[in-house]
Amino acid sequence: MVAVNNLSGLTVDKALIKKIAEVVLKSEKKISQDISIVLVDANKMKDLNQRYRRKNRLTDVLTFPELDIVVCPQAIKDNAKAAKATFKAELARVVIHGILHFLDYDHEAGEKEAEKMRAKEDRYFRNIVFNNK
């Protein structure tokens, strides 16, 4: 089951987030996996990033295996603008990235793992974006 809880104060398409999560989980053969995605504001995300990663800056997604994927819509909005991408596309990429971390993929575990994770991320992103126009 995928649960999405929006605490960010911004309007976000929770159904889209849930659909993205379900597509990735099904493809990874983890459809029975319970997953909680929590959307938080920029201040909360910066605090979590400082507390758990010792990085005093805003980030778009943090993954806590066995607990939650925490997503910051404001950071996604900022990143989308900088990349000249749509909010929806950047949201999809961030949710996919967080779910792959939740499923134990780790781009910081060496070049081979980074390539493996990036390839999956790109494949899911293409499938989701092209199938949801």
SS3 126: helix
Binding residues: 97, 101, 107
Q: Which residues contact 114 (CB under 8 A, 6 or more apart)?
A: 107, 108
Binding residues for Zn(2+): 97, 101, 107
User: What is the per-residue DSSP string for 42-59?
Assistant: HHHHHHHHHHHH---S--
Structure token digits, residue 78: 């900022």
